[in-house]
Amino acid sequence: MVMEVNQGNFNEVIKDTVPVLVDFWAPWCGPCKMLGPVLEEVAVELEGKMKVTKLNVDENQEISMEYGVSSIPTVLVFKEGALVDRFVGFMPKAAIIQKLEKHI
Amino acid sequence: MSERYDIAIVGSGPAGITAAINAKIRNKKIILFGYENLSNKLYLAPRIDNYVGFHGIRGKELAEKFKAHLDEMDIEITYERPDNIYAMGDYYAIMINGKLYEATALILATGIQFGKPFRGEAEFLGRGVGYCATCDAPLYKGKTVTIIGYNKESIEEANYVSELAEKVYFVPMMKEEYSLNHNIEVIQDKPVEIVGSTKVEKLVLKNSEIQSDGIFILRDSVPPDQLVPGLLVEDAHIKVNRDMETNLEGCYAAGDVTGKPYQYLKAMGEGQVAALNAVAYLERRKLNSDGVSNPTEGK
């Protein structure tokens, strides 16, 4: 399951004991729409090993600013609250999993 | 949901049309994206001496023969240029101006791209550099944006961005006439480098500099790994094996886009190999989905 995060719970969620992926997206973004279902599959595949979340940049501009998100989709990976990786733009599932494996 | 094609072929040069013809012979449902004259490079070739069987033929004549062949086989060309193609897992999603096509297999025959990226372009991609202004414009509300425009569409994008951004600069890279919103500042200069620290700070041009939070580069053709995110490219060419397979399952490439030599017959041979292997891929998948075990699958 892909969990929605926002300004209210973001800082809490990224401190999780398992690594946390945050998908920065917006409803008007075409590539975000394509990445969404791919990340749903990633979430299933990595269940228990990584938490997959998404954040709407329109509704949470402060967080987007804080992390310098200037293109979407942008995916950030956190480990116990610390930013450990980021990638920008659509990626196929196999490539995403490969990128994430080193954080698991 | 749009109907799903068996094979989408991107490019109507010698590689693309040969792929289309062979896939059609195998009775696959295909869509071929391309141009009316098939390929500018072919159409403009003054004389061709190494196309076996047609010594001394003009490119235009050969293109007409190719067109007649396509007509004979009822193969239509869709005159559209895919903006992005996404590997969704069991299919490819082909986006064109917000329209969506779906295909199980994909053959890329887009030819070779001329023009190098600017210094700093790759480095700041996603950190201020982008290729789709309309996609990311809302992130630049109240900020300064520079657009390097190579085509008509870039004018429309610049006008759209100017409604959101505080300040828009436009660097025209084309010769045609254009009309921009009055609040866009046109800079007639040649971009050289994109500079910044953690994100984009300015565009350096030959004779000037522009302070900018974001830079959009809107070219006519995008590099193959921008067109298909996740595609493996080496030395500006798509990496393929002898079966014309790319690193993405179900995605094949043929013609100049896979590397030198840039020749018609090489392109056509590759287009044929790509099509036949795409057909084999479709059959393997069909067997699997029918629940029939197929121990020969994979390599």
| Nearest residue to A88 (alpha-carbon basis) of B181, B197, B230 | B230
End-to-end CA distance of chain A: 18
Out of A28, A41, A89, name the one closest to residue B89 (CB).
Answer: A41
- Residue A20 sits in a domain of what CATH number? 3.40.30.10
B53 and B25 share one domain: yes
Tens of pLDDT along B120-175? 998 888 889 988 887 788 889 899 999 999 888 899 999 999 999 999 999 999 88
ipTM given for this complex: 0.86
For residue B299, is it within any domain? Answer: no
Which of B183, B202, B218 terminates a domain? The answer is: B218
B228 and B210 share one domain: no
For residue B121, is it within any domain? Answer: no
Compare all CA atoms of chain A with the CA of B139 and give the residue at the minimum distance: A70
Out of A30, A64, A72, name the one closest to residue B98 (CB).
Answer: A30
Asked if B134 and B34 count as a contact pair (C-beta separation under 8 A), the reply is: no
B34 and B180 share one domain: no
Residue from A26, A29, A88, A97 carrying the catalytic annotation? A29
Q: Which residue range forms the structural domain that includes residue B273?
A: 5-113+221-290
Tell me which amino acid residue B29 is: K
- Residue B205 sits in a domain of what CATH number? 3.50.50.60
Which of B198, B218, B238 terminates a domain? The answer is: B218
Tens of pLDDT along B166-205? 999 999 998 878 889 988 999 999 999 999 998 899 999 9
CA angle B149–B155–B157, rounded 5-degree value: 95
For residue B119, is it within any domain? Answer: no
Helices B14-25 and B59-72 cross at an angle (nearest 10°) of 20
For residue A104, is it within any domain? Answer: no
Asked if B244 and B274 count as a contact pair (C-beta separation under 8 A), the reply is: yes
Number of domains comprising chain B = 2
A11 included as an active-site residue? no
A72 included as an active-site residue? no
- Prediction pTM value: 0.84
Integer-rounded Cα Rg, in Å, for chain B is 21
Phi, psi angle pair for B248, to nearest 5°? -100, 130
Residue A81, chain B, CB below 8 Å: the answer is: no
Q: How does the average pLDDT of chain B come out, rounded?
A: 91
Number of domains comprising chain A = 1
Tens of pLDDT along A47-99? 999 999 999 999 999 999 899 898 899 999 999 999 999 999 999 999 999 99
Residue B115, chain A, CB below 8 Å: the answer is: no
Give the DSSP letter string of A64-87: HHHTT--SSSEEEEEETTEEEEEE
